[in-house]
């Protein structure tokens, strides 16, 4: 599949916490902005140990609290053709970003983005992984994703294909 529309792939470690939430927030914001169907959105993990699994129940719950349903998503692992199929690959943290850079095939025109760089002078470089943290970590992730999604969508909509 080649890129015919703007496209975003959100990438975290296992594709059960942060990147599924990012996918849900992005689709929610695109709908809110009247851009539904104009941007292809997906998520994946750099690791494949959760492939085929639904998002973490805590991610599903925090999304549901905000009117977003991510329960139908299934985790998958990053594939080499994702660099061809997606215009933007967005790493949720510095480690995921470094993995994206290291795995990028020669000649790929995909743009690699560290999500928190969209927030400008935010002091933290990473969307924190809430998997092992306290219960409010999922709310923190939700808030960061909401804050950075507008700048990402603007960047995607104004980028050259």
Q: How many domains is the chain built from? A: 1
Instruction: Tell me whether residue 44 is one of the annotated catalytic residues.
Output: no
- Whether 52 is in a domain gets the answer yes
Q: Please report which confidence band the pLDDT of residue 110 belongs to, taking 50, 70 and 90 as the band edges.
A: very high
Catalytic residue among 17, 18, 42, 58: 18
pLDDT of residue 35: 96
Q: Name the residue among 25, 14, 26, 22 with its Cα closest to residue 131.
A: 14
Residue count (the chain):
161
Tens digit of pLDDT for each residue in 35-65?
999 999 999 999 999 999 999 999 999 999 9
- Whether 1 is in a domain gets the answer no
Instruction: Tell me whether residue 18 is one of the annotated catalytic residues.
Output: yes
Can you give the pTM of this predicted structure?
0.95
Mean pLDDT of the chain: 93
3-state secondary structure of 74: coil
123: pLDDT strictly greater than 70 = no
pLDDT of residue 133: 80
Residue 69's domain comprises: 7-158
1 or 62: which carries more pLDDT confidence? 62
Instruction: Tell me whether residue 12 is one of the annotated catalytic residues.
Output: yes
3: pLDDT strictly greater than 70 = no
Burial 25-64 (b: 16+ CB within 10 A, else e): bbbbbbeeeeeeeebbbbbbbbbeebeeebbbebbbebbe
Catalytic residue among 12, 17, 26, 44: 12
- Whether 2 is in a domain gets the answer no
3-state secondary structure of 133: coil
- Whether 11 is in a domain gets the answer yes
3-7 mean pLDDT: 79
- Whether 152 is in a domain gets the answer yes
Euclidean distance between CA atoms 127 and 153, whole angstroms: 17
The CATH code of the domain that includes 54 is 3.40.50.2300
pLDDT of residue 120: 79
Report in angstroms the alpha-carbon separations of 134 from 8, 94, 105, 128. 29, 21, 37, 11
Catalytic residue among 42, 56, 93, 129: 129
């Amino acid at each position: 599949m080649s890129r015919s529309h703007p496209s975003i792939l959100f990438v975290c470690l296992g594709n059960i916490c942060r990147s599924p939430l990012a996918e849900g927030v992005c689709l929610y914001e695109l709908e809110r902005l009247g851009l539904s169907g104009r941007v292809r959105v997906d998520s994946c993990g750099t690791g494949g140990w959760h492939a085929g699994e639904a998002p973490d129940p805590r991610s599903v719950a925090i999304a549901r609290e905000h009117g977003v349903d991510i329960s139908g998503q299934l985790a998958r692992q990053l594939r080499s053709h994702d660099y061809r199929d997606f215009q933007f690959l967005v790493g949720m943290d510095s480690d995921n970003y470094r993995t994206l850079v290291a795995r990028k095939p020669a000649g790929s025109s995909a743009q690699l983005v560290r999500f928190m760089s969209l927030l400008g002078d935010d002091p933290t470089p990473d969307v924190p992984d809430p998997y092992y943290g306290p219960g409010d970590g999922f709310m923190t992730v939700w808030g960061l994703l909401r804050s950075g999604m507008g700048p990402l969508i603007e960047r995607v909509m104004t980028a050259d294909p």
